């Protein structure tokens, strides 16, 4: 765990690092690829956030770990959401934001990020999230 000498900050950093480690482990990436796991998380969070209604995005954001919530909201323009995307368009937008070539392709990256995020979101909120997406995109969520 990183030491900031302030326990609340230490806890926030630890939760963020755990989430990134979950993404790395699921993709078989070594810790040295932390920038890659962060880029994957950021790309998926931003596309998901932009696809949701403003209320849906806020409800999901409220359940994310504090530091991850900052990444999620970074650059958000609520007046420009939701952006209508099919499942294929969603994957393409994530691919555009994720500058790494990886084994298994972008679909695997998206699925592992969503699986890691699911551990931080209540089951009720996850079900609500899925119900607010078109079937082609909801099918991507674990």
pTM of the model: 0.91
Residue 15: Cβ-neighbour burial (10 angstroms; 0-12, 13-18, 19+):
middle
- Dihedral sign of CA atoms 8, 11, 12, 13 in order: positive
pLDDT given for residue 7 in this prediction: 85
Q: What is the pLDDT of residues 49-78, one digit of tens each?
A: 999 999 999 999 999 999 999 999 999 999
8 vs 1, higher pLDDT: 8
Domains of the chain, CATH where assigned: 7-138 (1.10.490.110)
């Amino acid at each position: 765990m990183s030491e900031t000498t302030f326990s609340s900050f230490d806890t926030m950093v630890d939760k963020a690092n755990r989430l990134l480690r979950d993404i790395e482990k699921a993709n078989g990436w070594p810790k040295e690829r932390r920038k890659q796991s962060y880029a994957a998380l950021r790309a998926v969070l931003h596309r998901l956030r932009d696809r949701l209604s403003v209320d849906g995005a806020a409800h999901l954001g409220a359940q994310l770990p504090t530091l991850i919530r900052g990444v999620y909201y970074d650059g958000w323009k609520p007046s420009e959401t939701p952006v209508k995307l099919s499942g294929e368009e969603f994957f393409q937008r994530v691919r555009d934001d994720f500058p790494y070539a990886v084994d298994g392709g972008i679909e695997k990256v998206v699925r592992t990020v969503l699986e890691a995020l699911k551990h931080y979101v209540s089951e009720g909120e996850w079900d609500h999230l899925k119900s607010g997406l078109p079937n082609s995109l909801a099918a991507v969520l674990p």
